[in-house]
């Protein structure tokens, strides 16, 4: 909780400095403001790093973010041989969509800082949160959770100079060497910020992820992609109706 309060304090002070930097393009400023948002650093957003403790009787879990749509049977994920790795994830450094699938560690970590430069390779592939299969049995044999919190603390001590706020950067560090790459079919990203994503392409993915600001239930959603989510909405439900959710 103390860390959470410190992060919020940084947000209040840091956001104005970012906006005042008129030399950067608007989409860069928007991205920086998004990473500074306290929602990315709330206690609940970090809770995933404690999955082995939260589910002591489980050996494997499929982790799904709340802005995904499952379009295929996920049971084949249980049959994936993780080869002793902990985190089954889709890499985000290669793919047809160069805007979404071009992320490496250098996109998330500050390699001008010696602590980062001495420990990691900037060209190493990043991976995505949102649809992951975690081998909790293998996880319990590691120090992943401790490593995560150690680096979060180091980032706070450094004045947030190791990475901008967010939960993926410390995740990339903590799971370093513990990731088993799975087929991109299982996690198509960027539907909340890549306007050029085609309906036909997204329709064939097993899981689609509306990560980004253009959530399908908002006015700013991309109209060609909203139906992929809206078709599952029960419009007769009184609670759904009361939310005045945009479905078309």
What residue spans define the domains of the chain?
Answer: 1-41, 58-248
182 vs 37, higher pLDDT: 182
Q: Is the pLDDT of residue 209 over 70?
A: yes
Multiple choice CATH, 58-248, 3.40.1280.10, 3.30.420.80, 3.30.565.10, 3.90.550.10? 3.90.550.10
| CA–CA distance, 190 with 198 (Å, rounded to integer) | 11
pTM: 0.82
Task: Say whether 70 sits in a helix, a strand or coil.
Answer: strand
Q: What average pLDDT score do residues 112-123 get?
A: 98
pLDDT at residue 92, as a whole number: 95
Chain Cα centroid distance, residue 130: 6
| CA–CA distance, 174 with 29 (Å, rounded to integer) | 27
Name all contacts of 240-246 with Cβ < 8 Å and 24+ positions apart: 243/217, 245/217, 246/217, 246/218, 246/219, 246/221
Task: Say whether 134 sits in a helix, a strand or coil.
Answer: strand
For residue 132, give both structure tokens.
């992951």
Task: Say whether 102 sits in a helix, a strand or coil.
Answer: coil
Q: What average pLDDT score do residues 93-102 get?
A: 80
pLDDT at residue 13, as a whole number: 44
> Would you report the helix, strand and coil content of the chain in percent, each value rounded to 5?
40, 10, 50
Q: What does each C-alpha distance from 3 to 37, 103, 124, 155, 158 come to in angstroms?
A: 14, 28, 29, 11, 13
Smallest CA-to-CA distance from 179 within 92, 88, 118, 113 is with 88
Q: Is the pLDDT of residue 49 over 90?
A: yes
């Amino acid at each position: 909780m103390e860390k959470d309060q410190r992060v919020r304090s940084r947000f209040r002070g840091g956001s104005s400095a970012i906006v005042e930097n008129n030399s950067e393009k608007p989409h860069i400023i928007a991205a920086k403001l998004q990473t500074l948002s306290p929602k990315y650093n709330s206690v609940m957003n970090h809770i995933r790093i404690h999955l082995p403790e939260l589910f002591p009787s489980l050996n494997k879990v499929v982790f799904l973010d709340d802005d995904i749509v499952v379009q295929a049977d996920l049971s084949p994920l249980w049959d994936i041989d993780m080869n002793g790795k902990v985190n089954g994830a889709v890499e985000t450094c290669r793919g047809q969509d160069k805007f979404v699938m071009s992320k490496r560690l250098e996109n998330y970590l500050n390699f001008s800082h010696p602590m980062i430069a001495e420990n990691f390779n900037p060209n190493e592939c990043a991976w995505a949160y949102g649809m992951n299969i975690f081998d909790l049995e293998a996880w319990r044999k590691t120090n992943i959770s401790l490593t995560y919190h150690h680096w979060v603390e180091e980032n706070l001590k450094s004045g947030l100079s190791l990475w901008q706020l967010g939960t993926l950067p410390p995740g990339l560090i903590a799971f370093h060497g513990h990731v088993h790459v799975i087929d991109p079919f299982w996690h198509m990203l960027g539907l909340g910020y890549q306007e050029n994503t085609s309906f036909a392409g997204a329709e064939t993915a097993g899981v689609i992820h509306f990560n980004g600001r253009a959530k399908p239930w908002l006015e700013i959603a991309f109209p060609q992609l909203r139906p992929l989510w809206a078709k599952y909405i029960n419009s007769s439900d009184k609670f759904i109706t009361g939310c005045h959710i945009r479905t078309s």
